[in-house]
Amino acid sequence: MKLQIYENKEVASKQVALYVVSKINEFGPTPSRPFVMGLPTGSSPEGIYQNLIELYNAKKVSFENVVTFNMDEYLGLPPSDPQSYHYFMYSKFFNHINIKPENVNILNGLTDDVEAECSNYEAKIKSYGEIQLFLGGLGPEGHIAFNERGSSRDSKTRKVQLVESTIIANSRFWNNDTSKVPKYALSVGISTVLDNSKEVIIVVFGSNKHNALKETIEGEITSRYPCTYLQEHKNCIVVTDYSAVNED
């Protein structure tokens, strides 16, 4: 595991975006050999998406042959709901670049067949052979995507129940009203991320992520902190900032 520490989130986001662009360009994707990426939502990756849009506008990168798989989606929210991860991805990123709609994959939070939705998603990821780059964030309690405490190393895409701390943390998007936060989500598993990705980049910003960062880097590998499984990946970079590193 490599650790990259930047002065702040803004500087780090720019560097990650430049790195992603260099990886796409180096790979030289074509329609039959696309660059496959895993993508997160949340406030941590927002600056990365802004920088990627700027680099796209400056003609430094094309997303024409990029395929994306988002990590998770709330169960029960339609894509038109501003708090859905569909809405987030299109408004913050996909609507501003030249990605093809058929290359965007996001779990359907309105599915009436959860098992089929999850197993098809897992199978579709596998059908590409390898995810070149999986970008992710961490919850304050160390979750990856919605792999909450107790998620196993072998977990695959599935329905998950959100723990109270996640509901409280994410209630900021519902005027701090926890009763409005969906209690279930669909999420890729730990195995989905670690066993299918050539490279994983995890962005961890802000003082509220200090403990999660510490566990990720030096914690004992345990399902209590799903982020610790990242230590087992052969090519994982954790990108962080001073405020997450310094306890205060």
How many residues lie near ligand GLP (CB under 6 A)? 14
Match 């030249």 to its residue by tokens. Answer: 98
Catalytic choice (73, 122, 143, 215): 143
Buried-exposed string 143-174: b where 16+ CB fall within 10 A, e elsewhere: bbbbbbbebebebbbbbbebbeebbebbeeee
**DSSP H or E run through 161:** strand 158-161
Q: What share of the chain is helix, strand, coil (3-state, %, to 5)?
A: 40, 20, 40
Q: Is 182 in the site for ligand GLP (CB under 6 A)?
A: no
Task: Give the closest residue to 9 by CA, choosing from 41, 47, 39, 40.
Answer: 47
If the CB atoms of residues 27 and 206 are measured against ligand GLP, the closer one turns out to be 206
Least distance from C-beta 166 to ligand GLP, angstroms?
A: 6
8 A C-beta contact, residue 232 and residue 154: no
Question: Does position 155 bind ligand GLP by CB under 6 A?
Answer: no
φ, ψ for residue 112 (rounded to 5)?
-100, 5
| 166 contacts ligand GLP (rule: CB under 6 A) | yes
Contact with ligand GLP (CB under 6 A): which of 29, 34, 40, 142?
Answer: 40
Q: Is 74 in the site for ligand GLP (CB under 6 A)?
A: no
Question: Does the footprint of ligand GLP cover residue 13 (CB under 6 A)?
Answer: no
In angstroms and rounded to an integer, the radius of gyration of the C-alpha atoms of the chain is: 17
Instruction: Tell me, yes or no, if 72 is annotated catalytic.
Output: yes
User: Contacting ligand GLP (CB under 6 A), which of 30, 43, 57, 152?
Assistant: 43
Q: Of the two residues 21 and 227, which places its CB atom closer to ligand GLP in the complex?
A: 227
Region from 22-30, 108-116, 137-145, 176-184 binding ligand GLP, contact rule CB under 6 A:
137-145
Choosing from 73, 122, 148, 241, the catalytic residue is 148
Find the binding residues for ligand GLP in span 200-239 (CB under 6 A).
Answer: none
* 37 membership: H or E segment, kind and range: strand 35-39
Based on the residue annotation, tell me whether 26 is a catalytic residue of this protein. Answer: no
Of residues 146, 160, 191, 196, which one binds ligand GLP by CB under 6 A? 146
CB 55 within 8 A of CB 23: no
Closest CA to 132 of 194, 68, 198, 70: 198
Among candidate residues 73, 117, 141, 241, the one labeled active-site is 141
Instruction: Using the minimum distance from each CB to ligand GLP, give the nearer residue, 35 or 209.
Output: 209
Nearer to ligand GLP, 97 or 168 (CB): 168
Q: CA-CA distance, 73 to 81, in Å (whole number)?
A: 12
Q: Mind telling me the catalytic residues?
A: 72, 141, 143, 148
Q: Which residues bind ligand GLP (CB under 6 A)?
A: 40-44, 71-72, 137-139, 145-146, 166, 170
